[in-house]
Every structure is written in structure tokens, then in C-alpha cells.
Amino acid sequence: MLGFTFTSLALAATTIISGTLAQKFPNQSAPYNLKLLSDEPTLDGKFLSACHSGAAIEQLCVSNTAATTSGVFYLNTTDSSTVSGFDTGVLVYNLNYGGDANLIASSALRFAFNPATNVVLSYFQPGDEGTDIAIVGLDAESKLFIPSYVDDVVTPNGTGLFYQWHVCNTQFGSYKYLALAWVTYGAPLDGDCKAVNVSAVPAAV
């Protein structure tokens, strides 16, 4: 099981940012649900939903159905950021807070790197600043990818689209979930992880 201590994240997350993430990524997509595609039958066809993992922090957890609120996500992009012809930007979850449905904290997907493993935990936190922001895109089949502006696996170097998503048993602080993670390279060091693709399907909201 992967573990991550998030005291600093919880403190940083006490600053709530309302509205959409419009400063860096002004173009927001239609709402999506995120559906898993996998050779693992227990995961194939399942969905991802935001699950509480600390103060204004959510992971992407496996759920049987597409949740109407916690399972709705957006891709925020710019007019100038593309890789291999596909727009790139940030995956956004709108967190309601304060008991008011009109108060939201637009939260961008981020990565929590641990140098002891090649498995990276993913989580949402308000705002679109920081080096931990996960830049993503959707390909022609609406599959979620991580872009590389310089693919050093090939010669000559070029851009690349990567799909190394996995579902793992994770521990984020004191929270334990079956949740989405990213494997940087090779087989995951955590043997519980199963490879998946993440497909964006239109959400009925």
C-alpha cells in the first residue's frame, strides 16, 4: 500500500479559491465523468469520484456508478498549449464548501511524488499554481493522457502522449482508498496496482 503524509498540503489547502480556474487555463470543457477501461474485470467499466482525503483535498477513488456531484470533472485549457494536436491543461473538480451549493473551490489535479517509489498518488487541491500540478489532455478517443514535450525514449526526440494510469490501494495521510495513481516508468513497485485507461464521457448535469 502506498503512503503519503500530507500535513503541509492540508495547511496550504485552507486557502480556498472560488470560481473556475481562469487565470492560467481560461477555456473550460463540458462536464465529464471519468470511466475506467482495464483488462482487470473488477475495474473495467467502473467510474472515478472525488473522495475526501483532508482539508479541501480529494483523491480520485473507484466507484460503481458515475456520481452526480463528486463524479463530475472538467478539462481547463488554453488557446496555445497543445501536444500532438491535442489541447492540454488541468483536470478540475469543483468542491462545494460552507454548506452552500453556490460556493465552490475549483481544484486542479496534482501529483504527490515519493522518491522511494515509481507510483505517484494523484489528488485535487484548490488553485492552479505549483510545481505539483498535473498537466493532462484528452486524445481522439477521449482517453486521459499526460503529455511530454520532449520524449527522450525515442530518437530523434519528439512529443509524446503517455497513459500510465493505475488503480492502487493507497494511503494518503490517514485515508485509505482504492484510488487512481500514476506510474512514472516500468512495472509499479506496489504489486496491488492494476493498469487502467481513464476515459472522459459526457456527464448528465
pLDDT digit string, tens, across residues 95-123 = 888 777 677 889 999 999 999 999 999 99
pLDDT at 124 over 50: yes
Quote the pTM value: 0.85
Give the pLDDT score at 152. 63
- Is the N-terminal amide bond of 156 cis, ω within 30° of 0? yes
Q: What is the pLDDT of residues 134-160, one digit of tens each?
A: 999 999 999 999 998 766 666 656 678
**Which residues fall within 8 angstroms of residue 131, CB to CB, at 6 or more apart?**
none
Strand partners for 180: 167
Q: What is the mean pLDDT of the chain?
A: 86
Cell of 121: 498518488
Q: Is the pLDDT of residue 202 over 50?
A: yes
Q: How far apart are CA 79 and CA 66, in angstroms?
A: 30
Q: Give the pLDDT score at 150.
A: 66
* Amino acid making up residue 171: Q
Strand 135-138 versus strand 86-97 pairing type: antiparallel
Q: What is the mean predicted confidence (pLDDT) over 27-51? A: 97
Instruction: Give the least confident one: 76-90, 130-144, 170-184.
Output: 76-90
**For the segment 5-22, what is each residue's pLDDT rounded down to a tens digit?**
443 343 333 333 334 454
Cβ atoms < 10 Å from Cβ of 111:
17
In this structure, the number of other CB atoms found within 10 A of the CB of residue 41 comes to 7
pLDDT surpasses 70 at 82? yes
* Cell numbers linked to 9: 498540503
Compute the distance between CA of residue 153 and CA of residue 173 in angstroms, rounded to an integer. 34
Instruction: Give CA angle at 77 (97, 81), nearest 5°.
Output: 150
Q: Residue 1: which of 203, 126, 175 has the closest Cα?
A: 175
Q: Which residues, 6+ apart, have CB-to-CB distance to 171 below 8 Å?
A: 1, 2, 3, 4
Domains and CATH numbers, the chain: 2-202 (2.80.10)
Phi, psi angle pair for 119, to nearest 5°: -105, 125
8 three-state secondary structure: helix
